[in-house]
Amino acid sequence: MISNLLTTQGINQLIQSYTSIETKRRITPLSTKKDSYSTKNKAYSTLESKLNSLYDLLKDLKATGSSSQFTYKAATTSDSTFLDATATSSAGVGSYNIRVNQLAKSDIAISKDIDTSSSSANTLGITDGTYEFTIATGDGSTGQYTSHVKVTLSASDSNQTIMEDIRDAINTDKAVVESTAKSGSYTGGSTSFDIDINGTTTTITDSGGGTYSDLIDRLVSQINSNVDGVTAEKVTSGTSYQLKLTVDNADDYISITHNSGYDLVSDLGIGVTKEKGASGIVTASVYSPSTGKSQFSITSKKTGLDYRIKELSDTTGTALNVLGLNLGTSRPTYDQSTSPDTPGYLYSDVTSANNQLNAKLTFNGVDVQRNSNTISDLATGVTFTLKSVMSSSDNTVNVNVANDVTTIKSKIQDFINKFNDVYTYIKNNSLDDNGVRGPFLGDSLPTSLRTSMINYAYEEVTGLTSGALTKLSEIGISFDSSSGLSITDSTTLEDKIKNKNSEVADLFNSTNGIANKLYNLIDPYVGVDGYLQNYQDSLDSNISYLNDRISAIQKQIDKSANTLRDKYEKMQQQLLDIIAAQNFMNQFTSQGFF
């Protein structure tokens, strides 16, 4: 009945039915198309990600020369008890015979025994004041690093505390250069000088004029703006001024030399050569060899004869002297057998042939020495690490350097994995599975890419020398249309890497090699302007258009539904009015008025 349709529930059902029919007729086809575009877009985005991964690997795989992925070398030793070896790509294939005769050591100067049995006693003769001393070590060549250390000591401190204060001053020392105190007018004129921080030189210039105060202000500003690794400051004392330079890193040295014009370096007294913080060249220690006794040691941070301690000298006061270490440039031998111990060097012999500081080894029958136990300048690309001295009965250690089959094979396996990741993804998304079309089915972009990948997997590499390896199948790699590439003969692959390494490399990184060809194939597909991104942009545009259309149509349907609802509600009201009138007339009839 019409009355049932014009109830509130009936009207809702009518509107719902209208909306459902219109949605299926007008919106569902657009939504289906949009979903198809979205599925494609997601699939192309995933493909682009996989292609980028392969593309990046191919960039490395096609490299030649020192960057080639096929030049990895591995070093093996016949006895790692005595030494280890590592090799880089620049190493040549070969073998070396080595005997380790002596390990490199750090130079050590040791004090006499110091009585520390009484915690309050100062029997060293130290008075209140600032003490200064010089420590110098070799610089690894024929020169030296020099450190000037200052320490404030107190007469009320114990021997132990005094030793610890000297130790701490050494272990925290940084290179500091202070000019002489200057006052009044600067009349030197134009000048330039060089500041060398650990091998990096900066020229400082000044045109003169003003007072020394003005001059130092100009120098501080210029140095702090232009010289890395050093902090300049102006020190004021009454009407006198000093330039103070502090090297930021204790491992860096500073040298200051006159360049041209007025010799301001001499005027200010700032000329230094390889001034370095003591904490960058030595380590100081305090220890107790026996109850009530302590000793002080200074140890060079780097091993070898060329980094030995060259000088230990008091400059102001007797801080080193009280320890027995004011040795100057002499090298007395430390003697523990006397009482008290005789201070000096643990390794006193520093003659070139007999020194006890260098590593000594017999390398392919030749006696050689080095400062360090880590040696990288004997054979190009090979680093030897000495670990233990050999006795006459120990067998000579053989170090063999060969192509690193494991690493190179893993690079090839990585290529296979990424190749297959792209190949199988395209293949699996190009199928029609029981009427469900894959997102790539019928699309030329992925289809063309997959076809080319198949061809390159089978094709011969051209342009190689006669008789050389020209196919992946010749190095134990096969192609299967369902799964892609795989190593089907691991023994053959390892043999070719080991014995025909350059031919394996050419197979991939020569001009027509598979890595180069695949790289060139993929190149136009990837990137912000690549085929895949352009296609995704097109899909995004279509999806955006469909979203707008769906939204507009939905508004039309909603508007029409509201119009229908208004009509039905008016009809509902008219029906209610008719029913009310009918009821009113029925009352009169029942009372006999008609």
Asked if residue 91 and residue 61 are part of one domain, the reply reads no
Q: Kindly state whether residue 204 falls inside one of the protein's structural domains.
A: yes
Say which residue the tokens 């020398």 belong to.
465
Nearest-angstrom CA–CA distance, 5 and 491: 83
> Could you tell me which of 384, 389, 449 has the C-alpha nearest to residue 419?
449
pLDDT above 70: residue 244: yes
Distance (Å, whole) CA 249 – CA 178: 17
Does any domain span residue 581? no
Answer with the one of 276, 293, 308 that is the final residue of a domain: 276
Asked if residue 542 and residue 440 are part of one domain, the reply reads yes
Radius of gyration of the chain (CA): 44
Q: How many CB atoms lie within 10 A of CB 526?
A: 18
Distances from the Cα of 338 to the Cα of 112, 239, 329, 334, 342, angstroms: 10, 55, 23, 10, 7
1 pLDDT tier (thresholds 50, 70, 90): very low
**What is the number of alpha carbons within 13 Å of residue 83 lying toward its C-beta?**
37
Tens-digit pLDDT profile for residues 58-116: 999 999 998 999 999 999 999 999 999 999 999 999 999 999 999 999 999 999 999 98
Regarding whether 383 and 256 lie in a shared domain, the answer is no
The CATH number for 150's domain is 2.60.40
Q: Is residue 235 part of a domain?
A: yes
Q: Which pLDDT band holds residue 591 (cuts at 50, 70, 90)?
A: low
Is 579 domain-assigned? no
Are 359 and 365 in contact by the 8 Å Cβ rule? The answer is no
Lowest mean pLDDT among 204-208, 350-354, 506-510: 350-354
Q: Are residues 139 and 288 in the same domain?
A: yes
pLDDT in tens, 519-574: 999 999 999 999 989 989 888 888 889 888 888 888 988 888 788 877 866 776 77
Total of domains in the chain? 4
Cα–Cα distance for residue pair 496/505, rounded to 1 Å: 10
Whole-number Å distance between alpha carbons of 499 and 37: 52
Among the three residues 276, 295, 312, which one is the final residue of a domain in this structure?
A: 276
- Give the span between the Cα atoms of 169 and 314, in whole angstroms: 14
CA distances from 274 to 62, 281, 308, 486 (A): 46, 12, 15, 60
Mean pLDDT across the stretch 10-33? 83
Q: What is the pLDDT of residue 37?
A: 81
Q: Are residues 125 and 219 in the same domain?
A: no
Neighbour-count burial for 231-250, b at 16+ CB within 10 Å, e otherwise: ebeeeeeeeebbbbbebeeb
Q: What are phi and psi of 38, to 5 degrees?
A: -65, -40
pLDDT at 570: 78
| Count of beta carbons in the 10 Å neighbourhood of residue 588 | 10
User: Does the pTM exceed 0.85?
Assistant: no
The answer as to whether 5 is a domain residue is: yes
Any idea what the CATH number is for the domain that residue 226 is in? Answer: 3.30.70
Residues 287 and 389 in one domain: no
pLDDT in tens, 420-451: 999 999 999 998 877 778 888 988 899 999 99
3-state secondary structure 22-91: HHHHHHHHHHHHHHHHHHHHHHHHHHHHHHHHHHHHHHHHCCCHHHCCCCCEEEEECCCCCEEEEECCCC
- Domain range for 45 is 1-72+404-572
> Between the CA atoms of 348, 351, 356 and 362, what dihedral angle is there, to the nearest 10 degrees?
-170
Domain identity same for 412 and 550: yes
In-domain check, residue 577: no
Of 276, 294, 322, the residue that ends a domain is 276
Q: What is the pLDDT of residue 395?
A: 97
Domain membership flag for residue 591: no
Q: 164 and 135 share a domain?
A: yes
pLDDT in tens, 160-201: 999 999 999 999 999 999 999 999 999 999 999 999 999 999
Residue 371, pLDDT above cutoff 90: yes
At 72, list the tokens.
């990895």
Q: Are residues 393 and 408 in the same domain?
A: no
Q: Write the burial class of residue 321 (CB in 10 Å: 0-12 exposed, 13-18 middle, 19+ buried).
A: middle
The percent of residues above 70 in pLDDT, for the chain, comes to 96
Of 541, 477, 168, 151, nearest in space to 316 by CA:
151
Single-letter code of the amino acid located at 75? A
Q: Determine, yes or no, domain membership for 578.
A: no
* Average pLDDT of span 314-324: 97
Mark residue 158 as left, alpha or beta (left: phi above 0; alpha: psi -120 to 50; beta: remaining).
beta
